[in-house]
Structure 1
């Protein structure tokens, strides 16, 4: 970032100052020796370097890369606790050390918040700014100008050059006139729309930027194909756009989510289903003849079929696999009405989770016949099958659960499912679980 050479060194010094200050005041008996002073500071520097923590982008905010921040805290916390083992320190004061870590992390978070607050105000006054122009105008210009005009990021958008569009307030002239303007107005970055220039023109601009120490950036051709989930892969020197990068495609993410699913489902099976299932068997059998479980084929990850389990909430009927439950549905039994309103009927799906067919959180699986209907009538519906289906999901906590009354319902549900697929993180899963429990206690009006 322009005029920001001291930001990273200053942040490192302040972070180390916070860590050393808290340790000095709260635990001087273990801190004031050469080993610990070197150990704590070296550990912080090594961990932050390994995580590439300090290099920050101009468009970074307080919550940007929050996952990296959480990972840093966890690794440093474990490293800090491990130091007591080297000197054979007793671990009976573990709770005190955890408290000290909480103080350190709280102070670091407060500093991070103050840092981005101060940076925002500084940029709004013109500090840490970069002057930019755009060469060539196409449909992408408005999108990138919206970013430039956000005062948080510190861009000063001067305008665009193009051989058309004369009379627009931000039009600076023809493309051939840009060179003199750029030099006379101390432009720091040039953004060029590749769709508007020939290869010789692009090469000429690149050479001009290099020779004048100006950053040169390309905006790809506008083909109406860009998505938030897009990423760039490199095949040698050739950049290739991946239009659908799914966080759960990485081994680390899959392992984290699978471990969470296994432990969570085991907890529910051992401590809840162990007594709930016999109780449900008695109550369901007393009211309606038929099996305890309702089993139905549904589509999972990559559209693979699996048997989804639920406590049976309806009298046995012939259209259970084609017709969704509706409000005041006569097929639903009295006990079925209760377990549907409280979502108890979904609990057997934790067996599906343990078997790896489902996840605790993910897009809800639909019955087979509905999947075939929606994938042909709802745009991008099949994207939700890039991940395992879930017992609960983002669409459900946003009110899109149960019966599909209007076409907009399934479109909004699909939109939220795709957002989850593209933006998955463990924090999002925990948030969805939390709001699922709140909605259950509040008696969701669409739970029938």
Structure 2
């Protein structure tokens, strides 16, 4: 198993771009006499719809290999839809006194400023990669076809793409083995693997997929003829070289990510305000009356992209040195009388809604494990690390399907991983709602594995 922690470059760039663009469309209002009767309503209207159409248009999904003409297309499409919602405001909110000319001038200024900022950031990032070697992704290429050689030349020539080519593995060489590739990838902190699919056997492809899944590496295939592959596979082009992305995760789509985060924020705020606001002081008194120690139990767990975070619970055990090493078992003597009740009803998990609000967790997702257990399962269970492609959850599909609590046998964790991967690859907001409702029902009824 390799070291899984990987950097996510430019993670603040997208929120910053949103902030700048929203500032532009709201700030530009005050440069023109548009005759809007309610500026706050207009500002809320254009801000909300700008965000919605940007999700629809993938306006902020500019990749390092995106062409300038594609960036221009994105801008024109975004401004085109924005123009429609601007003039729709007049009819929807009955604003006959709005100056159409001033609104057109406002739209032109927004177009110029947004386009300038978009191209400025695009140029700045390209220069940063090319001139300073920043924001790089370490890559290897497996295979030696015409397309793979073109891709290697592209990596070396287009420094502005930010791909640092580290090594090519030639399959036809006598000393070639996938294990040597895997060792090199693990030891040299490689971020992405590009493999020539025409030169690999099905067995080798499956081994590559398993390695990439278990080590959180991005795996992409270089096809020789894209027509032979299923349409579900995602095609991208680095200049004129086709690249196949294998795993399609719904939560990587911006609109899905936004909907899930909105669901998380609304539900966590509701629980914190209407339940934890009065339940926490009450439980604090009861916990302290039964045993000395902190009210909350804090434990380091692995979350999205294998990053560590502090997971919070109401303390249900007497303080002990094994709390961070051993999971709770049936009849565990460490569990207090009150602890048995709050664990049976899952009340002890409620403080994790703060983890959800802060962005470390989701309401629904793969349950996070103790760091020690995560490292153990990553070694033993195939594809265990796929769970870390999304945020962990307070509850999950595996938990409502009978695989919560103590891991007694290897079968328990294997089945849990299967359910988690199914959830990741088939996510929908409706599925999240269904799992949340089922979790509430199970908490009221009581779960045999909640101890």
Q: TM-score, normalised by structure 1?
A: 0.50
Match of 1:419 among 415, 419, 422: 422
In the alignment, which residue of structure 2 is the partner of 1:295? 298
In terms of Rg, which structure is larger? 1
Give distance in 1, aligned partners of 2:93 and 2:395: 45
TM-superposition CA deviations, 1:124-183 (whole Å, max 9, x none): xxxxxxxxxxxxxxxxxxxxxxxxxxxxxxxxxxxxxxxxxxxxxxxxxxxxxxxxxxxx
TM-superposition CA deviations, 1:10-55 (whole Å, max 9, x none): xxxxxxxxxxxxxxxxxxxxxxxxxxxxxxxxxxxxx9xx99xxxx
Superposed displacement of residue 251, structure 1: 2.2
Q: CA RMSD in A?
A: 3.0
Q: Does 1:383 align with 2:404?
A: no
Match of 2:398 among 386, 395, 400: 395
Give distance in 2, aligned partners of 1:387 and 1:229: 21
Q: Does 1:282 align with 2:260?
A: no
For 1:307-318, what aligned pairs fall within 5 Å after superposition? 307-318=310-321
Contact 1:322 1:369 in 2 (8 A): yes
Gap change, CA 1:244 and 1:344, over 3 Å in 2 = same
In the alignment, which residue of structure 2 is the partner of 1:240? 243
TM-superposition CA deviations, 1:178-237 (whole Å, max 9, x none): xxxxxxxxxxxxxxxx99xxxxxxxxxxxxxxxxxxxx99544xxxxx9x9853334455
Q: Does 1:357 align with 2:355?
A: no
Contact 1:359 1:389 in 2 (8 A): yes
For 1:41-440, what aligned pairs fall within 5 Å after superposition? 85=92, 218-220=227-229, 230-440=233-443
Give distance in 2, aligned partners of 1:257 and 1:293: 27
In the alignment, which residue of structure 2 is the partner of 1:441? 444
Structure 1 gaps, min length 5? 1-46, 52-81, 89-193, 196-215, 221-225
- Higher relative contact order (CA closer than 8 Å, sequence separation 6+): 2
Deviates more, 1:242-251 or 1:290-299: 242-251
Superposed displacement of residue 259, structure 1: 1.7
Gap change, CA 1:279 and 1:84, over 3 Å in 2 = farther
Gap change, CA 1:358 and 1:412, over 3 Å in 2 = same
Give distance in 1, aligned partners of 2:361 and 2:251: 14
Give distance in 2, aligned partners of 1:260 and 1:402: 25
Superposed displacement of residue 239, structure 1: 3.5
Give distance in 2, aligned partners of 1:330 and 1:231: 52
In the alignment, which residue of structure 1 is the partner of 2:69? none
Superposed displacement of residue 87, structure 1: 6.8
Gap change, CA 1:256 and 1:336, over 3 Å in 2 = same
Structure 2 gaps, min length 5? 1-52, 58-88, 96-197, 200-224
Contact 1:229 1:246 in 2 (8 A): no
Give distance in 1, aligned partners of 2:408 and 2:233: 33
**SS of 2:330 mapped into structure 1:** coil
Superposed displacement of residue 442, structure 1: 1.9
**SS of 2:242 mapped into structure 1:** strand
TM-superposition CA deviations, 1:47-92 (whole Å, max 9, x none): 9xx99xxxxxxxxxxxxxxxxxxxxxxxxxxxxxx9995679xxxx
TM-superposition CA deviations, 1:295-336 (whole Å, max 9, x none): 000001011111100000011111111111011111111100
Give distance in 2, aligned partners of 1:426 and 1:394: 13
Gap change, CA 1:350 and 1:238, over 3 Å in 2 = same
Contact 1:229 1:244 in 2 (8 A): no
Give distance in 2, aligned partners of 1:306 and 1:436: 23
Gap change, CA 1:283 and 1:301, over 3 Å in 2 = same
Gap change, CA 1:388 and 1:285, over 3 Å in 2 = same
Superposed displacement of residue 245, structure 1: 1.9
**SS of 2:438 mapped into structure 1:** helix
Gap change, CA 1:410 and 1:330, over 3 Å in 2 = same
Give distance in 2, aligned partners of 1:313 and 1:362: 23
Q: TM-score, normalised by structure 2?
A: 0.50
